[in-house]
Chain A
Amino acid sequence: QSALTQPASVSGSPGQSITISCTGTSSDIGNYKYVSWYQQYPGKAPKLLIYEVTYRPSGVSNRFSGSKSGNTASLTISGLQAEDEADYYCSSFTRTNIVVFGGGTTLTVL
């Protein structure tokens, strides 16, 4: 099972909105609602930001939102803040009942 495809890096200025894409196939993102997003700071464990494409766990800022169209899922961060500078990973359930991650995207807040 191949990893999902994410851009290696994105950047934005404080207050702006950015979107990180995550492209899979019909064997994962395209046919499953179980798409998740994580935030990870250097040296720390990942934190769940989004599950089931659009849902935020309790305590996650509503500046983070998820969506999906076809085989591509997206994470949008609005009102960018310095503290959002981190690595972001998408993941998806697959037709073989395993989980696959994206390669990760480094967000730089300019």
Chain B
Amino acid sequence: QVQLVQSGAEVKKPGASVRISCKTSGYTLTTYYVHWVRQAPGQGLEWMGIIKFSGGGTRYAQKFQGRVTMTRDTSANTVFLEMTSLRSEDTAVYYCATRYYDDGCADYWGPGTLVSVSS
């Protein structure tokens, strides 16, 4: 069964950085695309960017360019999301989600990682 396993909740202070991981279970990411989507408390979904697992090519939403980096470790079948200069507005659940095709959607989703930013 296909599953995405994400790292645990994080509590950070404003200005700090956070790195979240997303590992697959049940299949390899080799030919997949991985999206990162976040959801602030009580708010809607916000697309952050996408990484192509083979090759590591990335595209980011303009809002996050310069502050977000998506990388992958092919040997560990894991992708990472790093966000710097955290502020309170970054408090959200961060989801990784995958799709075989680069067609703007995702059919397998991780359970989400809560990142709380507070002084």
A and B found bound together:
yes
**Interface digits, B105-116 against A, CB 8 Å rule (1 contact, 0 not)?**
111011110000
A45 pairs with B112, CB closer than 8 A: yes
With known contacts A46-B109, A52-B103, A1–B62 Cβ distance under 8 A: yes
Stretch at the interface among B8-16, B41-49, B82-90: B41-49
Tier of interface size on chain B: 20 to 34
Partner of A91, one of B60, B105, B107, B109: B105
Is the Cβ of B105 less than 8 Å from the Cβ of A89? no
| B45 in contact with A34 (CB, 8 Å) | no
Tell me the A residues contacting B by CB distance below 8 Å: 1, 3, 32, 34, 36, 38, 40, 45-48, 51-52, 57, 89, 91-93, 97-104
B residues adjacent to A (C-beta < 8 A): 35, 37, 44-47, 49-50, 59-62, 95, 97, 103-107, 109-112
